[in-house]
Chain A
Amino acid sequence: MILLIFLCAILALAVLTTYFMFVTSNAQLQTNVLRMKSSCQFLVENAVEEAYSRLAKATRRPDSPEFKWFVQNPSSDLPINTPLTTKVASQVAPGADCSITVNARIIEKRNISSRGKEYSDDLEGLGSVELNAVVTLESRMAGKTVRHAISHHDFRVASIINKRDNHKNRERYANNFICDYILFIRDGVQEFVDSDGKLLNRAEPIFNLHVDLDPWKNTRLPIEQLGKVFFGDSSNDGKLKYVFLNTNDATFKTIVPNLGVNRVADKAHCLKLFPTLEEQADKLDGLVGYYMGNSLPAKGKHLLQAAGFTPAQVEKLQNRSRKLAEAQFASELEKNLEPGMDIFPPGAGRGFPLEYAASLLEGDIRQRFFYAVHFFLDFMNISDQEYVVELNNKTKHDLDGHFPVVEVSDPSAMGDFTAFYEEFPRLDDEWIQAGNYSIRGKYEDWFSLYHYENAMAPEKINQKYRSEKPDILGEVVSPAFYTLNHEKCESIKNTLPLQHFELYFYTFNNPKSFYSSHLLRKEGSELVLSLNGNVLILGNQLIALGGPDYSAIRIEGRGSIVAAGGFKILSPILKRADFDTLVLFAAGEGSSISLDASPIEAGLVAMNKALDGRILNTQPVTIKGFYACDRVLNIWSGSDWPTNQQIELFYDPAFKSPVETLYTVGIARTPVLYRITGGDG
């Protein structure tokens, strides 16, 4: 019995010991399994994080497959490699066989905003993307462990440059329509009037436009990538209003039509004009008169000198031209004869093709030039040269004998020429009725490279010129602007860029949070501004960028910054890559962009509902981008524009895409759903 009990005790002890052994072995195994699961969990989390980072980085490059995948919104999944996670897997889970896969899938995408507004493009929109990671670890000690991680992120596809063919109008609102223009002055017509024309016609122009010059390569820009020029009229009163540019030596041959009035007057015609010559009519066989018309710049010199005029003659002619303008245009406004701003400067070796100019000028800009017609009598074929000497004394020798000129506008030419002045208008009328251009010299201001057909800028163009030069006028492009509802604006006042707030903006509550954000970082002596889309800074404070601590503000990526309080730029703004673009938009009433540094490689916009947005510069500045404001100056008085503060304005071709719309893709870092599930094999 005792033995039996003893044996039972031994047996029980054996069982307990074996069980204890089993339990502890199991504990060891569980420790290994837990360790494996923990590693698997780390890896799957890393895989999702790396996939997000890789996707977010890749979508900053418009040429990447990931970027195209987002924009095109395909139904197929996008596999994402996670080399970093794969690389460290062997260290995280030594001895285990590891497999990592990550796929991205677009769950949904919508192109109507929460306010019910359609975006300007079908490919724009908001959506959710799912990152799905699966990590499998398998080892002899711990078996097989699988972890799935699912992470959902909001994303947006926003157009940063909407495609624009310069020869065609837009058909709906585009968030970035302002990027089409190198120079856009929303209330430019009224400002031109308020400034007595000095906005555009000054001895030292405010803007030196370089419309067709690549500012970095110093080569001609592709025609389809040129910026437009627009002067708007905010009054919407239906009246015809224009801005006039006085042509000058440099531009007039490029811009102004060669009217080329050359008419030969026979002896009978000449005698009608000069009846006193009839007494010796028999001696005047061979007498010929010539009307010679020329388009001349308002205040040019070298063209006249090149035509053989001496400086003294040029001065005389220009004085007459001034008197002519004063007689013809009584208002103070029209007296301004300084050469105008060059929209299409010919430059060295360059000549701007007018057929493209027509599609670039969207504002109602007209060229004003002096149209001078000279009449002179040619005595060369008169055989009696003694009588020629007498004739020369009878006729007026103007311009120091260069050739005899009779001018209708000069009262001092009366006297012997009374009959001329009586007869000439009648002959001119006949001439015009016969379908020819007038032979009366005058200031012309009708010449425009285009015409309009909407209420903002009614059509007015010389019909004759249009019929003569249809190739130059080409297809007419009317300025067309739209509201957020894609309805055509009747007034330029009713449109502003960057209105899709709910879609486009990465928002900061105040400037402080912007300054300390991931968008700005110091790199050497430069302040790097890294953009991917549009940024809105709330509040009315002025945003200062740069300063004495920075040699430059370096731009990475594409996008804009909108601030109601405006901007103060304290360091030059430089782009990192050709396709990088920055637009600074001072959007609040009374706000401005103040430029204290140069160059500025950015588009500048100062516009608001009160129409008083301005861009100020305290020194000469070079802008390589574009310039858009409500007004250049709010009030023109006295000295008007400060001296020595010229703006060299180049258009950045990165702001124009004639064929395809350029987008940015932004993926929210914070997931809206995050779940890890797992199972053991």
Chain B
Amino acid sequence: MKRGFTLIEICIGMLLLSLTLLGFLRINSFASHSAMDAYYKFMAQQLANEPIEVFRAMGYERIKNLDKKPLPGYPIGTTESIQEEVSGERYPVETSLFSRTIELEKVEEDGVKGFLVKVSVFPSGSNKISAWLVRQMVNATGLVIEEVTQ
């Protein structure tokens, strides 16, 4: 005759199993969170880098005149939700859940001038991105240096 498990043994086993599974679940949840955080952080980083790259491509002289001729999609000094489509260019769907602030600061060292472009990207209010992101804001800083034409 086989001897079965006693109730106590089963309870202890289930407790151990539960604890193990809970641990796994916890780890899994943390990993999932981490994965989603990395994903959205990466997306936010790209959104933060984007204006810097655009401004660098446009050059110092154009940036100087941004107050007179603003660039659609890249407002200076205000926070705006990122549009999924700007001037025919489409962003990934979830980018509309982010907001972005772009600031320009004039800098000069030893006679060479430039603009410091500071970009902050963060979730637009409470949404799934804000739930996943560990740090709620991603910052990027870039420099646009004046062109000297001979």
Contacts and interface: CB of A to CB of B under 8 A. Distances in A.
Interface of A: 10, 13-14, 17-18, 20-21, 23-25, 27-28, 30-31, 34-35, 38, 42, 45-46, 49-50, 52-54, 56-57, 81, 83-85, 87-88, 91-92, 506, 518, 532-533, 666-669
Nearest to A6: B17
Contacts of A667: 150
Given A31-B45, A46-B145, A84-B107, A668 B150 contact: yes
A49 B145 contact: yes
B143 A56 contact: no
B91 interface: no
A83 B109 contact: yes
B148 A53 contact: yes
Contacts of A46: 142-143, 145
26 contacts: A10-B17, A13-B24, A18-B27, A20-B32, A24-B30, A24-B31, A27-B38, A27-B39, A28-B34, A28-B38, A30-B38, A42-B143, A46-B143, A49-B145, A50-B112, A81-B110, A83-B109, A84-B108, A84-B110, A84-B143, A87-B107, A88-B143, A92-B143, A506-B150, A533-B150, A668-B150
Contacts of A83: 109-110
Contacts of A20: 27-28, 31-32
Contacts of B27: 17-18, 20-21
Given A10-B20, A46-B145, A87-B109, A27 B34 contact: yes
A471 B143 CA distance: 67
B62 interface: no
A59 B50 CA distance: 33
Contacts of A91: 116, 118, 141
B105 to A, nearest CB: 10
Nearest to A88: B143
Nearest to A26: B38
Contact of B150 (A81, A84, A85, A532): A532
B116 to A, nearest CB: 6
Contacts of B116: 88, 91
A92 B105 CA distance: 14
B111 interface: yes
A83 to B, nearest CB: 4
Contacts of B143: 42, 46, 50, 84-85, 88, 92
B58 interface: no
Contact of B42 (A34, A87, A666): A34
A17 B31 CA distance: 8
B86 interface: no
A14 B116 CA distance: 48
B58 to A, nearest CB: 13
Nearest to A54: B112
Lowest 10 CB-CB distances: which A-B pairs, in order?
Answer: A56-B148, A666-B150, A27-B38, A24-B34, A83-B109, A24-B31, A84-B109, A24-B35, A91-B141, A49-B145
Given A21-B30, A21-B31, A87-B107, A53 B112 contact: yes
Interface of B: 17, 20-21, 24, 27-28, 30-32, 34-35, 37-39, 41-42, 45, 49, 52, 56, 107-112, 114, 116, 118, 140-143, 145-150
Nearest to A153: B150
B37 A28 contact: yes
Given A30-B38, A49-B145, A84-B109, A23 B150 contact: no
Given A17-B27, A24-B38, A42-B52, 16 more contacts: A23-B31, A38-B45, A38-B49, A38-B140, A46-B142, A49-B145, A50-B112, A50-B145, A57-B112, A81-B110, A84-B107, A88-B107, A92-B143, A518-B149, A667-B150, A669-B149
A53 B145 contact: yes
B54 to A, nearest CB: 13
Nearest to B138: A35
Contacts of B111: 54, 57
A532 B150 CA distance: 6
A431 to B, nearest CB: 69
A325 B143 CA distance: 79
Contacts of B142: 42, 46, 92
Contacts of A14: 20, 24
A24 B30 CA distance: 9
Nearest to B149: A518
Contacts of A92: 140-143
Contacts of A28: 34, 37-38
B37 to A, nearest CB: 7
Contacts of A38: 45, 49, 140
Contacts of A21: 27, 30-31, 34
Contacts of B114: 50, 84
Nearest to A48: B145
Contacts of A532: 150
A20 B26 CA distance: 12
A10 B18 CA distance: 11
A456 to B, nearest CB: 38
Contacts of B28: 17, 20
A89 B41 CA distance: 21
A25 B49 contact: no
A260 B116 CA distance: 80
Contacts of B109: 83-84, 87
A57 B113 CA distance: 11
A146 B56 CA distance: 21
Most buried by A among B39, B42, B116, B143: B143
Given A57-B112, A84-B107, A27 B141 contact: no
A42 B20 CA distance: 46
A669 B31 contact: no
B39 to A, nearest CB: 7
A31 B49 CA distance: 13
B71 to A, nearest CB: 19
Contacts of B20: 10, 14
A604 to B, nearest CB: 24
Nearest to B20: A10
Nearest to A20: B31
Contacts of A81: 110
Contacts of A31: 38, 41-42, 45
A28 B20 CA distance: 25
Nearest to B147: A669
A25 B141 CA distance: 25
A52 B145 CA distance: 10
Contacts of A10: 17, 20
Most buried by A among B107, B108, B110: B110
